[in-house]
Structure 1
Amino acid sequence: MARDVQITFDCADPAALSAFWAEALGYELQAPPTGFESWEQALEAMNVPPERRNDASAIVDPDGAGPRVFFQRVPEGKQIKNRVHLDVRAAPGLEGDERMAALEKEAERLVSHGATRLERFEPAPPLGAGWIVLADPEGNEFCLD
């Protein structure tokens, strides 16, 4: 039996990191609970103190197909390279120069939203199509491929 999967990021600023990844993935912030117009309103009603209102955030695929991505505040910062990372499929079906141009365009867009460019890997046929490695605003590496 297949299971639903949630991807979880430990981070320092859940609101900011969820906004970045919503932009990167074409996702949207998860809607507040039924009966509330905003998360701020819901958290106020739940008596969550203001200093705890950025302890968590989540984004969802607007089409309902992709996994929920959850961001939780942790006290420690990122220490080492990720052992697991996301590959953002930014150039499906494209090859060669056309593929790399599409990846470059997406890399520029994400850098304008707070990503850091780390490295570019050139196409190496037959198996290597080329990709670009970026880091999100908190240093988590991911690939545009």
Structure 2
Amino acid sequence: MPTIKKFQVTFDCAEPERVARFWCEVLGYVVSPPPYGFATWDAFDRSRPPEDRGSWFACSDPSGVGPRLFFQRVPEGKAVKNRVHLDVRVATGLVGEERLAALEAECTRLVGLGAVREQLLYDGHGACIVMRDIEGNEFCLD
């Protein structure tokens, strides 16, 4: 059996393009090219029935290393804690106050984009900050 190395992470959400653009800013990702045969996402959306317009959107790592993120509209809102979440690695290799400062700086930037800070987990050495994206999905700054 071959080992699978490529995968995408799929988010259920109410506003796919809005959430995708938020994650582009968080991760330094770019909007994925529109589906084959379309010059723009707007052209693709205009080709679809009105009820399907804006029903999905995608973004990707410009270096090609990270997974593609796919956002699909679902009718129900988020009701419980995520079973899977992203850890955004912004302080790798840092410890103590230096780690905490890097996490706090990134937290401030993401709050400016619409994220919500939930909780700081800090033991004097290791730390992470639990946050929520613009639709309430949990993620951690690590």
Q: Match for residue 24 of structure 1?
A: 26
CA–CA separation in structure 2 for the residues paired with 1:115 and 1:59: 18
Deviations 1:58-97 (Å, cap 9, x if unpaired)?
0100000111110000000001011111000011121111
Q: Match for residue 140 of structure 1?
A: 137
Deviations 1:37-68 (Å, cap 9, x if unpaired)?
31112333xx2134422100001000001111
Letter of the 1:41 partner, please give it. A
CA–CA separation in structure 1 for the residues paired with 2:75 and 2:122: 37
After the TM superposition, list the runs of 4 or more consecutive aligned residues in structure 1 that deviate by more than 4 angstroms.
none
Specify the SS of the correspondent of 1:98: helix
TM-score w.r.t. length of structure 1: 0.90
Cα RMSD, aligned residues only: 1.4
Structure 2 residues not aligned, in runs of 5+: none
Q: Match for residue 3 of structure 2?
A: 2
8 Å CA contact 2:56–2:70 kept in 1: the answer is yes
Letter of the 1:134 partner, please give it. M
CA–CA separation in structure 1 for the residues paired with 2:106 and 2:123: 17
Deviations 1:12-32 (Å, cap 9, x if unpaired)?
000110011111111111012
Counting only pairs closer than 5 Å after superposition, residues 96-111 of structure 1 correspond to structure 2 as 96-111=96-111
Identity among equivalent positions (%) equals 54
Deviates more, 1:61-70 or 1:27-36: 27-36
Deviations 1:108-134 (Å, cap 9, x if unpaired)?
111111100100011354xxx110000
Specify the SS of the correspondent of 2:101: helix
8 Å CA contact 2:96–2:124 kept in 1: the answer is no
Q: How many residues align?
A: 140
